[in-house]
Amino acid sequence: MSHFAYRNETLHAEGVSLDRIAAQFGTPCYVYSRSALESAYRAYDEALVHRDHLICYAVKANSNIAVLSVLAKLGSGFDIVSGGELARVLAAGGDPHKIVFSGVGKTVEEIRTALDAGILCFNVESEDELARVNRIAGEMRRVAPVSLRVNPDVDAKTHPYIATGLKDNKFGIPFSAALPLYKQAAGMKHLRVVGIDCHIGSQLTEIPPFIAALQKLLDLVDRLATAGIEILHIDVGGGLGIRYRDETPPPIAEYIRALTTCMGDRKQTIMFEPGRSLVGNTGVLLSRVEHLKHGADRNFAVIDAAMNDLIRPALYDAWHDIQAVAPRRTPTRRYEIVGPICESGDFLGRDRDLSLTEGDLIAIMSAGAYGMTMSSNYNTRPRAAEVMVSGNEMHLIRERENVAQLFSSERLLP
């Protein structure tokens, strides 16, 4: 993570020290590096130069409109899962013709709004949804572009909560049902079949499951061609993992090479829906130590960030590196890094050897994906500020919430 590095013994985001950011905007605070984000996008884009391709960033990983606009300016498309995300992408200047709409529960209103915006395609997840999209498109006198999200039944070998490509998961159309459903779709008056897609899970660190899924898709594409149904794009989903600790995911270019090799000389546009691998290592959560509790068995560092700010450790037992912003030379102790929330699951890191004093700043690394977007107001905690650094400049891209905002839409009984 060269975009976050020590200079003069202080951790910096690009050219700005994290203690300056804390002094200006307070903590907890998410800090992103614009150049890290741009490099990650370019790693995808450059590996795909020889192919017709579209990268649709999975908005749910980090949906701040500044993040979306940096990617939109680079030519990125977007993978959305709600009408809310559609609104964000449009507000950020994203091109509607580069939006794909995924998700198992698209509402009538969401489908209408997306059709109206002129999105690239609906990634349809069930027979029921297919009929609904057809009906709404008919009512609007439109033709809806659709892709079927096929569930290839491959084991992504990741955490069970983020594996989505097994036949027991709620996602996608069972592989064996896909061909008949495509035939049905091709006969529906208000639909145009344009693509095929899949997404088998998240934080995958090996290439073979991606290849297995793509091969099944290609097999289906051939059978569809025989049946007279032409597929224009093949969307392989997202899911490439990042290094949090000692994982060794393949570099983006290697992953792309493996998949494009598998595509051979096919002419379809290849599409990707990366989330975590674009933004995960472009952000940190900056927090301050409130209290130290040194016990007989355990030492606790109670910090001002908590599971409401970053839920991954509590939810998936995920490991994030934790670094002191200005490391001390005094001997370390082994700490449980915990938040102030009334839950024993409220920890950000366990068994961390650090030298800490009350008031010290720490950075929870690799927090750019599924950090802010999964945050909540549990314990009536205002959500953190977000800052994006670009070179020597820092920009506040989301103000810290205040307590009054949190209950301003609530009402007392008469």
Query: What amino acid positions are annotated as catalytic residues?
Result: 342
Residue in 326, 353, 325 with CA at minimum distance from that of residue 337: 353
- Binders of ligand PLP: how many residues, by CB under 6 A? 16
Answer for which of 21, 61, 213, 307 binds ligand PLP (CB under 6 A) is: 61
Q: Which of 169, 323 has the CB closer to ligand PLP?
A: 169
Q: What residues numbered 233-272 form the site for ligand PLP, per CB under 6 A? A: 237-239
Closest by CA to 348, choosing from 302, 382, 383, is 302
Which pair of tokens denotes residue 113?
């709004």
Distances in Å between the alpha carbon of 160 and those of 163, 216, 275?
5, 22, 18
> Measured from the CB of residue 251, what is the shortest distance to ligand PLP in angstroms?
15
Q: What is the 3-state secondary structure (H, E, C) of 11-22?
A: EEECCEEHHHHH
Does residue 276 touch ligand PLP according to CB under 6 A? Answer: yes
- What kind and span of H or E run contains 90? helix 83-91
- Give the binding range for ligand PLP (CB under 6 A) out of 5-13, 30-38, 53-61, 371-379: 53-61
At CA 238, angle to CA 60 and CA 369, rounded to 5? Answer: 40
117-132: burial string, b at 16+ Cβ within 10 Å, e else: bebbbbbbbbeebbeb
Does position 199 interact with ligand PLP (CB under 6 A)? The reply is: yes
Among 14, 273, 304, 386, the residue binding ligand PLP under the rule CB under 6 A is: 273
Of the candidates 16, 31, 55, 58, which one interacts with ligand PLP according to CB under 6 A? 58
β-strand partners of 4: 13
> Min. distance of Cβ 409 from ligand PLP in angstroms?
29
CB of 249 to ligand PLP, least distance (A): 11
Q: Between 166 and 195, how does the x/- string for binding to ligand PLP read (CB under 6 A)?
A: ------------------------------
Smaller CB separation from ligand PLP, 147 or 202:
202
Q: Is 202 in the site for ligand PLP (CB under 6 A)?
A: yes
| Residue placing its CB nearer to ligand PLP in the complex, 196 or 324 | 196
> Which long-range contacts does 1-7 make (Cβ < 8 Å, 24+ apart)?
1/36, 1/281, 1/365, 1/366, 3/33, 3/35, 3/36, 3/39, 3/282, 4/33, 4/36, 4/284, 4/363, 4/365
Please select the residue that binds ligand PLP; options are 195, 274, 283, 349, rule is CB under 6 A. 274
Residues 6+ apart with CB under 8 A from 138: 189, 190
In angstroms, what is the minimal distance from the CB of 192 to ligand PLP? 21
Q: In this chain, which of 79, 85, 125, 346 binds ligand PLP, going by CB under 6 A?
A: 79
Would you tell me how many other CB atoms lie within 10 Å of the CB of residue 160?
11
Site residues (CB under 6 A) for ligand PLP, limited to 333-372: 369
Contacts of 19 (CB under 8 A, 6+ apart): 10, 325, 326, 361
Q: Smallest distance from the beta carbon of 303 to ligand PLP, in angstroms?
A: 26
The binding track of 291-330 with respect to ligand PLP, each residue x by CB under 6 A or -, is ----------------------------------------
The residue at minimum Cβ distance from ligand PLP is 275
Would you list the DSSP string of 143-190?
A: -EEEEEEEE------S-GGGB--STTSSSSEEHHHHHHHHHHHHT-TT
In single-letter form, the type of residue at position 394 comes to: M
Shortest distance (Å) from residue 213 CB to ligand PLP: 12
- Which of 131-139, 249-257, 275-283, 388-396 is the region at the interface with ligand PLP (rule: CB under 6 A)? 275-283
- 57 forms beta bridges with 78
Residue placing its CB nearer to ligand PLP in the complex, 31 or 40: 40
Complex with ligand PLP: residue 153 or 346, whichever CB lies closer: 153
What DSSP string runs through 95-127? -GGGEEE--TT--HHHHHHHHHHT-SEEEE-SH
x/- map, 87-126, ligand PLP, by CB under 6 A: ---------------x------------------------
Tokens 């079949």, located at residue: 193
- Strands 299-303, 333-338: pairing is parallel
- Binding-site ranges for ligand PLP (CB under 6 A): 58, 60-61, 79, 102, 199, 202, 237-239, 273-277, 369
